[in-house]
Structure 1
Amino acid sequence: QVFEQSEAAAPAELFYPTYDLSDFSWDSVNRTLNRTALTAEFRGAPSADPGGSFANGSLAFRVTAYEAGGRDQPLPSLLHTANSSKVEFVLDGVAPRGNSSRFLLEVATVEEPGVAQRLRSARSIDDEYTPTIFEMLSLVAEAQNGSSPRSFRQWKATAYGSARPRRQDGIECRPRGLQAANWTLPASGVVRAYFGEGVGSAFTASAINISFGGEDGAGYRERRYLSWSALLGFGQPPRDTFSPLVISIMAVALGTPALMLLVGTCLVLFAQRKRYSEYEPIN
C-alpha cells in the first residue's frame, strides 16, 4: 500500500484515501523485461482515479537481479552480492492531493514460525559512494535461536527526486515502527499464492512504513518524481568498508601531526646536543 499524508506539520496525522496496489491496473511486464540486463519494470495506476492524480503519472517497481557481487553506479550506489536483487520504487508525475503531502510506502514481510524481523541501523563516516548520507538501514529476518540471518532488506536513508540522481536531488527518507501486519496480508493474492492459506496462522507477517520528504512535503511537490532503492537478498546483508580514498585521507590527517611531532622532537634534541657539545670547561 502507498499512503499520502496531508499537513505533515500538524499535531495530528491526516491521511488521504490509501492507494491499494491490489486495485491497480498493471502494464504487461513483457514490454520491459530485459533478459540480458536482468531487469524488469512493473508499472501501473489505480483502476479508479476520481481525483485524477494519476492522469499524467504512474507508480512503478523496477527489479534488477545480479549474477555477481559489485556496486551500482547510480545513486545510492548500493553494494550487492550474487544472492541479492534490487527493487526500486518510483512515483513519476503523480499529482499530490495536498500542498504539503508526503508519501509513505508500506513494506510487508512474511516469515516462517520462529523467525522474527529486526530493524538495524548502521552509521559510518564514509560517504564516498552516497554523498552526505551516513546511515544504512536493514530489515533482517533472524531465527530466535540466534543463528545467522535468513534474509534481509537493506537501503540507504535517502530517496531521490530525479531519474538521474545527484547529491542535491536527495529526499529525506525515514522508517516508521516495525509492527505485526497479520490484519492486512491475508487478503493479498500474491502472498497467499506463494505461501498458501496458512498466512496469518502458520506464518507471521510484519510491516514497516517508509516515509519520504520533509515536514512540508516540498521534496516531491517541486519535482513530481520520487525514487527509492532497496536491496533484497539471502544471508548476511553486505557491509560497506572504508574506501581507499577515505583511508588515505584518514592516514594523512592522523599521520601528518604525528610526523610533525616526531620531526620537532628530533630538532629539539639535536639543538640541545649541539649546545652541550660547544661548552668548554674552565679547567
Structure 2
Amino acid sequence: MAITRALGRVFSVLVLISFVILTNSYTPKRQLNTYLNPGCTEDCGGGLAYVKARGEQDTLHFVFTSVGTPSALVIRTNTLQDRENDKLTFDWTKLRSNDTAGAVYTTNHLTKVLYSYGIIFTRLFQYNDTSDDADLTHFPTRGPELTVYDFHSDVTEWENLLDTSSDELIVLKVQQTDPDLPTAIVNGSLTIQFHLFDHGDRSDDLPHLEYNEDTTHFDFILHDIDTGNMSNARYGVETIFFSMDTDKDNMAIEDVKSIDDEYSPGVFSINNLVSRPSDKGNGGFLQWKPICYQKATRTRSSGTAVKKYGPQALTVAEKMSTDFINNSIVYAFYGADKIGDVKMTYSNFSFGLSKDGFFTKNNYTAWTGSLGYGVPPADKVSTLVIAVISAGLGLPVVLMVFGGVFVCVKKRFTKKSSTSSFSENRIN
C-alpha cells in the first residue's frame, strides 16, 4: 500500500508539472485589435485588414489586403503610451488611385519604425504535367500547356473580406479571374487566409507549424477549379518576400534537417527564407515545410510535395517597374523614393509529386506557411513526449527504489519478530 501511495504521488506531480507547462504556453503576450477596411466608406476593392498586436516591448502592425496585389505587410514599431494614436493610418483616396505612394503611414511623430517586412503573392501558374515530372521549370513561357493568373486588380477580382474575415482569421478570396483566360477561377476557388496569434503554440492542423506572438500563419488553398483541357493539371505560385534592409547580405533559404517527425509524420526538414541570414534574431522570415495536402481533412496519406525555386534577388530596375510591386500595399508604404532600396527576392513554389495523381485527383491543394519576426521556430521534442519518456524511465527506477526499501523493511521486521519469539520461549 505504501508503494502504491508513493507512486500515486509521483504520478500526480508529473501531471501537475505537465499541466503548468502547457497552460503557461497559452499566456497572451500581445493585445490584438483588428480593423476591417479602416477609414473606407465606399469602394474598398477586395478590402484591407489591419491588425495591431501591441506588446510590452514593441508593437507589430499587420496589414493584409487584396487591394492591388494581394500582400501581407508587417511593421514593427516602438510601443507608445498614447494607445489611441499608436496605429497606422490609411488614405483610401490614394489607395484607389494610380499612385498609391504615401497611402499607409503613422500619424504620431513619436512612433519609430523599427523594422518592416512581408510577402506579395504575384501570380498563379497552372500547367499540364503530361510527363508527370512535377517540375515547373519545364514550362518557362506561357502557352497551351501553361496558364498564368496575374494577381492584380486588372485581371483578378477579390471578394470583400468583410464577408469572409474575423478578428483572428483574415481571408482573401478570389471572386473571379479574367473570363478571357482558357481556364478561369470563380466562386472562391482560390483562398489566401492568415491566422493571428497572441501567444505561442502549434497549429492544430498538419503540418503543425509552431507559432508565437510574433508570427502569422497563412494557408494558400486551391479547390474546385475547372482545369479545362488540362487533365494532368498542377499548380505553382510566385511570391516576393521583402524587408526594409538595404545591406548587401542577400536573403537566403535554409533547409533545416530534423530526425524528429512527431508533428509532421514522414517530414524531416523545414525551410526558412530569412531576410538577415547573419542576424536572424532581428529580421523577418518566411517558413514552411516541404509538404502540402490534397484533401481538406489533412492526413499523412493526403500529403504531397512542395518544391521551391529560387530565391532570386530583384534589381532596382525591377523593383521600380514591376506592376505587382507598384500596385501593392508595399509601394503604398515605402513610396517611390524608398522602394528601390527595399530588399526583395522572388521565389516560386510548385505543388505536387510524381505519381501523386495530379491536382485533378481530388481537385484540392492546401499549403501552409508562416510569416514572422525573429529567429524562425525549430522543431523540438514536445513537453508531452518528454513527460512520457520521463514517466517511462522514471517509474521503473521508482519501483526499484521503493521495492528495495520495502524488501529491506520487510526482512528487518521479520527478523525482529523471529528474535522476539525465540527469547520469549527461553524465558518460559
Aligned Cα root-mean-square deviation (Å): 2.8
**What aligned pairs does 1:113-262 form with structure 2 within 5 A after superposition?**
113-114=246-247, 116-142=250-276, 146=279, 148-182=281-315, 183=318, 184=322, 185-198=324-337, 201-215=340-354, 218-243=357-382, 245=385
Q: Contact 1:159/1:228 (CA < 8 Å) preserved in 2?
A: yes
Residue 7 to residue 216, structure 1, CA distance change in 2 (3 Å): farther
- AA aligned to 1:160 is Y
Say whether residues 1:79 and 2:210 are aligned partners. Answer: yes
1:5 pairs with 108, 124, 127, which one? 127
- AA aligned to 2:160 is S
From the CA coordinates, give the structure whose radius of gyration is larger: 2
Q: Contact 2:174/2:187 (CA < 8 Å) preserved in 1?
A: no
Match of 2:412 in 1: none
Deviations along 1:82-139, whole A, 9 cap, x unmatched? 1000011011111235222321111211223015311001111211111111110111
Distance 2:256 2:196 in 1: 25
Displacement of 1:217 in angstroms is 6.8
Deviations along 1:58-104, whole A, 9 cap, x unmatched? 21101100000001111111110110000110111112352223211
Distance 2:253 2:172 in 1: 27
Residue 8 to residue 80, structure 1, CA distance change in 2 (3 Å): farther
Distance 2:128 2:183 in 1: 17
Secondary structure, counterpart of 1:245 in structure 2: helix
Distance 1:49 1:238 in 2: 42
Greater relative CO, 1 or 2 (CA 8 Å, sep 6+): 1
Displacement of 1:247 in angstroms is 9.3
Residue 221 to residue 199, structure 1, CA distance change in 2 (3 Å): farther
Residue 198 to residue 93, structure 1, CA distance change in 2 (3 Å): farther
Match of 1:108 in 2: 240
Distance 2:308 2:280 in 1: 25
Distance 2:305 2:386 in 1: 25
Match of 1:49 in 2: 179
Residue 33 to residue 127, structure 1, CA distance change in 2 (3 Å): same
Q: Contact 1:6/1:100 (CA < 8 Å) preserved in 2?
A: yes
Say whether residues 1:58 and 2:197 are aligned partners. Answer: no
Residue 155 to residue 246, structure 1, CA distance change in 2 (3 Å): farther
Identity of aligned residues (%): 23
- AA aligned to 1:130 is S
Displacement of 1:154 in angstroms is 0.6
Match of 2:160 in 1: 28
Higher helix proportion, which one?
2
Residue 85 to residue 147, structure 1, CA distance change in 2 (3 Å): closer
Matched length:
250
Displacement of 1:229 in angstroms is 0.5
Secondary structure, counterpart of 2:174 in structure 1: strand
Secondary structure, counterpart of 1:33 in structure 2: coil
Match of 1:39 in 2: 169
Residue 43 to residue 74, structure 1, CA distance change in 2 (3 Å): same
Displacement of 1:167 in angstroms is 1.0
User: Structure 2: which 5+ runs fail to align?
Assistant: 1-122, 393-428
> Higher mean Cα deviation, 71-80 or 41-50?
41-50
Residue 130 to residue 41, structure 1, CA distance change in 2 (3 Å): same
Distance 1:8 1:214 in 2: 13
Displacement of 1:151 in angstroms is 0.7
Secondary structure, counterpart of 2:310 in structure 1: coil
Distance 2:184 2:177 in 1: 12
> Higher mean Cα deviation, 221-230 or 103-112?
103-112
TM-score (norm 1): 0.79
Q: Contact 1:160/1:228 (CA < 8 Å) preserved in 2?
A: yes
Match of 2:225 in 1: 94
Displacement of 1:246 in angstroms is 8.1
TM-score (norm 2): 0.53
Match of 2:10 in 1: none
